[in-house]
Structure 1
Amino acid sequence: MDAIVIEGLKVNTVVGCFNWERQIVQPLMLDLMIHTNLEVAASSDELEDTLNYAEICSISAEVIQKAQPKLIEHAAKLVLNALFSTYPAIESIKITIRKPAIIAEANSVGIRIERHRNDLRLSTGE
C-alpha cells in the first residue's frame, strides 16, 4: 500500500493533566504514516494529484494547538479526525505522538494509534 510519511513533526503546545503543565508550552513529536493511492501522482508528477504535505503538517499542528489537550491520546484523535475529514482519499493513518523528556529515565513517552476510514464509519454510525 502506498503511504505518505511524515516523521518528527514538532508541535509546541500546552499539553498535560497537571497544573504545572497547563502553565507551559511543551513539544510533542508526531510521526504520521498516511495510506493513500499515489499512482496518479507518480504518473502525472503534479502536486494536485497528491496530498499536500505542508498542509497536512499545518492541520495537524493547528488542531492540537487550538485544543490544548490534556492527553496525547486525545491529540491523536483530533489529528485523525481532521485529516480524514479534509482528505477523502486517505485510506488509513498511523499516528505516533511522543512527549520528549517528560520522564527523566526515558527519552520520550508516547502512543501509537492506527485507524482505517472504514473503521470510522462503523464507530460514527455512518
Structure 2
Amino acid sequence: MTDQVFIQGLECQAVIGVFEWEKQIRQTLLLDLEMAWDNRAAAAADDYSKALCYDTVSKAVTALVQDHPHELVETVAEKVADLILTRFQVAGVRVRVSKPGAVANARTVGVQIQRGTF
C-alpha cells in the first residue's frame, strides 16, 4: 500500500520529562504522523465515511498526550502508535515526537518510530 494520511506539527502541551521540575510544568511536543490508509474507496465515492478523518485522529492523539504525564518521548511515541493502530485500524503508522528546546543548542530533539506495514 502506498497511500498515506498525514498530520504534521500536531502541537500538544504535555507533562513530559524525567526531572522533577519538568513534572510540574507543561512543555510543547510536536507530533508528525503518517498513516497507511487506502484512500481509493473514499475518493471514488467522494464519501467522508470511508476516509480516515485526520481531525478525529488529531483529537484522540492530543487527548492521549495531554491528559497523561510521561517521562520519555519514546513512551509517547509507542502509545500514540498503538492508539492509531488499534482505534483506527490503519495498516501502519510512523510517529515522530519532537521536544523543542530540550537541548539548548538544538532546534528540537526526539524520536521516530514505525509500526505496522506501509
Q: TM-score range by the shorter chain?
A: over 0.9
Cα shift at 1:115: 0.3
Q: Are residues 1:102 and 2:102 paired?
A: yes
Please name the residue that 1:122 is paired with. none
Distance 2:46 2:101 in 1: 40
Distance 2:81 2:68 in 1: 14
Cα shift at 1:4: 0.3
Please name the residue that 1:112 is paired with. 112
Cα shift at 1:66: 2.2
Distance 2:73 2:42 in 1: 33
Q: Are residues 1:24 and 2:40 paired?
A: no
Identity percentage over the alignment? 29
Distance 2:102 2:72 in 1: 13
Distance 2:62 2:17 in 1: 16
Deviates further, 25-34 or 74-83: 74-83
**1:33-60 alpha-carbon deviations (Å, 9 max, x no partner):** 0011111011111110111111100111
The amino acid of 2:109's aligned partner reads V
Q: Please, what TM-score do these two structures have when normalized by structure 2?
A: 0.94
Could you list the structure 1 runs, at least 4 aligned residues long, displaced by more than 3 angstroms after superposition. none
Distance 2:59 2:78 in 1: 16
The amino acid of 1:114's aligned partner reads Q
**Cα RMSD (Å) of the superposition?**
1.0
Distance 1:115 1:12 in 2: 24
**1:49-76 alpha-carbon deviations (Å, 9 max, x no partner):** 1111111001111111222110010001
The amino acid of 1:61's aligned partner reads T
The amino acid of 1:94's aligned partner reads R
Please name the residue that 1:78 is paired with. 79
Count of residue pairs brought into register by the alignment: 116
Cα shift at 1:102: 1.4
Q: Please, what TM-score do these two structures have when normalized by structure 1?
A: 0.89
